[in-house]
């Protein structure tokens, strides 16, 4: 991943690929912990029951727009949209789309055109399909991942356009796993009690990791879209080999209400910080 920017491409790590880090040992109470071992899973699942996760956090038609800044410099714009309900394998799913484009001075030396689609099961709020089309500088990739929840299996096919190479990966999938993009929407449905940590399994880069979400504090902020009372969370991927730029934390400000709208996302980078802040609704 190196130092490439990932603006909205993978959501919780949308601001910079370099924010991925090993999670420190925490004394916070763990509220939701995965107990499924991917490495140890060799049996065939004979039955499967979809979980049910009712919520009021988001619905079809939600359309959020952000300005991305590198310090005080506008680096680009992005949006998150819940487009529609589509059937995938006879199950209704939320089709959620993100797009990010670099702009201004940044576009002249590091062009970013990122598009991501995720299909979340409407009832279970788990990922069943994920697609990304990433163009960041010279790096270009098209990738599709299928998360077969009933059979606990995932498969990813990718094409590196810049290198003209194809790759396929597959493996065991923990129950109720998500991708990094879909995990943002699932976290919005959690109670998010201050001082607690929530853990969920996330497929990222061809591996499944626990994503630990620390709930840090309440805070009132002012951004282009207005003033908001927020809950600040810190998502961290915990996994072997993820030690890039240790200490460069990503924090997300979610509205302190039933919708848990992400209104600010911010991380440190090599020079300063990168942030995404919600823009006012279009007239």
Classify residue 46: in a domain, yes or no.
no
Q: Flag whether 17 is in a domain.
A: yes
- Give the three-class secondary structure for 19: helix
By residue range, what is the domain housing residue 86? 11-36+60-278
In a domain, 207, yes or no: yes
- pLDDT digit string (tens) for 172-194? 999 999 998 899 999 999 999 99
Cα–Cα distance, 38 to 36 (Å, whole number): 6
- Class of residue 114 by CB neighbours under 10 A (exposed 0-12, middle 13-18, buried 19+): buried
Q: What local confidence, expressed as pLDDT, does residue 197 receive?
A: 95
Q: Is residue 216 part of a domain?
A: yes
pLDDT at 11: 33
What are the pLDDT digits (tens) for 213-233? 999 999 999 999 999 999 999
98 in Cβ contact with 113 (< 8 Å): no
For 100, 130, 239, the CA distances from 174, given in Å and listed in that order, are 30, 16, 15
Look at residue 155 and tell me if it is in a domain: yes
- How many domains does the chain divide into? 1
pLDDT at 54 over 80: yes
- Residue 192 region by backbone torsions, left for phi larger than 0, else alpha for psi between -120 and 50, else beta: left
Q: Residue 59: which of 21, 95, 17 has the closest Cα?
A: 95
In a domain, residue 148? The reply is: yes
- Dihedral of the alpha carbons of 21, 26, 29, 32, in degrees to the nearest 10: 30
pTM of the model: 0.83
Does residue 41 form part of some domain?
no
**Count of alpha carbons within 13 angstroms of residue 79, beta-carbon side:** 12
Q: What is the pLDDT of residue 14?
A: 43
Q: Does residue 43 fall inside a structural domain?
A: no
């Amino acid at each position: 991943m190196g130092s490439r920017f990932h603006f909205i491409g993978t959501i919780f790590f949308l601001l910079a690929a370099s924010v991925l880090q090993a999670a420190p040992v925490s004394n916070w109470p763990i509220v939701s912990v995965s107990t499924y071992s991917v490495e140890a899973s060799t049996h065939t699942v004979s039955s499967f029951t979809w979980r049910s996760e009712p919520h009021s956090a988001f619905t079809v038609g939600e359309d959020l727009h952000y300005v991305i800044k590198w310090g005080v410099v506008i680096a680009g714009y992005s949006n998150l949209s819940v487009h529609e309900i589509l059937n995938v394998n006879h199950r209704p799913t939320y089709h959620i789309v993100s797009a990010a484009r670099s702009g201004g001075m940044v576009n002249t030396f590091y062009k970013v055109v990122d598009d991501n689609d995720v299909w979340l099961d409407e009832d279970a709020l788990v990922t069943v399909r994920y697609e990304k089309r990433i163009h960041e500088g010279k790096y270009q990739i098209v990738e599709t991942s299928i998360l077969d929840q009933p059979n606990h299996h995932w498969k990813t096919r990718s094409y590196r356009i810049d290198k003209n190479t194809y790759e396929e990966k597959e493996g065991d999938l923990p129950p109720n796993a998500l991708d990094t993009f879909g995990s943002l929407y699932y976290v919005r449905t959690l109670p998010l009690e201050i001082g607690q940590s929530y853990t969920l399994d996330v497929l990222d880069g061809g591996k499944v990791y626990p994503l630990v979400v620390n709930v840090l504090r309440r805070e009132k902020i002012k951004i282009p879209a207005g003033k908001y009372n927020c809950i600040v969370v810190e998502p961290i991927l915990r996994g072997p080999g993820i030690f890039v730029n240790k200490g460069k934390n990503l924090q997300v400000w979610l509205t302190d209400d039933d919708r848990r709208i992400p209104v600010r996302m911010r991380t440190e980078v090599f020079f300063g910080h990168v942030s995404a802040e919600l823009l006012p609704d279009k007239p």
